A = this chain, B = another copy of it.
Amino acid sequence: MNSPGSTKERILGAAELLFAQRGFDGASLRQLTAAAGVNLAAVNYHFGSKEKLIEQVFRRRLDALNAQRLAALAKLADDSNRTLEDVLAAYIRPALELSHEGNGALFMRVLARAFAEHDDTLRQFLSENYGHVMRQFTAEFARLLPQLSKEELYWRIDLVTGALTHAMSGFGMIQRKRDVSEETHREQTAQHLIRFAVAGLSHP
């Protein structure tokens, strides 16, 4: 790992912010290095190219996020009474925690952009590196919803994924009311998302 204030880390932080705000094409290396307070040449020195930098922006967050999701799912494997709520919580809560720490909310916007981009290179990178996570959760959904055909299940998972991605990309703007604690607010959000996902997956 990199030390917190290192050049590499500052570039990654600035990249996350500017990619969230202006997109991968919209944010130039000039804006990016200026925001990070480093030299223009530093990106190519440390990452090789803009493309590689983009991959590292994803890796920095997704490695930990998906490890947490799989750990939460593994924990449930012991419990033979695990419910759809439990499995969805294992998927949603780590992302929700990330979106409330530091610039995690910005990253969720970057992720939502990646979804909308339909860019083949990026999709392949995400699929190769993190595809196994979705596959494990899908298997678990199939187990808990045996009445659904394969096609029906895929439809619902796709719709739920779209809903969650969209919602989490907006977290930078959701205003927590002053009389609600940070903890309570996060818990309410989790409940909204989980209940919606349960309804979307399991309706008759």
Chain A residues proximal to chain B, CB less than 8 Å: 20-23, 25-26, 109, 112-113, 115-118, 152, 155-156, 158-167, 169-170, 192-193, 195-196, 198-200, 203
Contact = CB atoms under 8 A, between A and B. Distances in A.
Given A165-B166, A200-B200, 17 more contacts: A21-B118, A22-B25, A109-B116, A112-B116, A113-B117, A115-B166, A116-B117, A155-B192, A158-B166, A159-B196, A160-B163, A161-B166, A162-B162, A163-B166, A196-B200, A199-B203, A203-B203
A151 to B, nearest CB: 9
Given A26-B25, A166-B162, A196 B117 contact: no
A116 B169 contact: yes
Contacts of A199: 199-200, 203
A152 B196 CA distance: 11
Contacts of A158: 166-167, 170
A145 to B, nearest CB: 13
A116 B118 contact: no
Contacts of A118: 20-21, 109, 169
Choose among A25, A116, A155 the residue with the greatest number of B CB atoms under 10 Å from its CB: A116
Contacts of A25: 22-23, 25-26
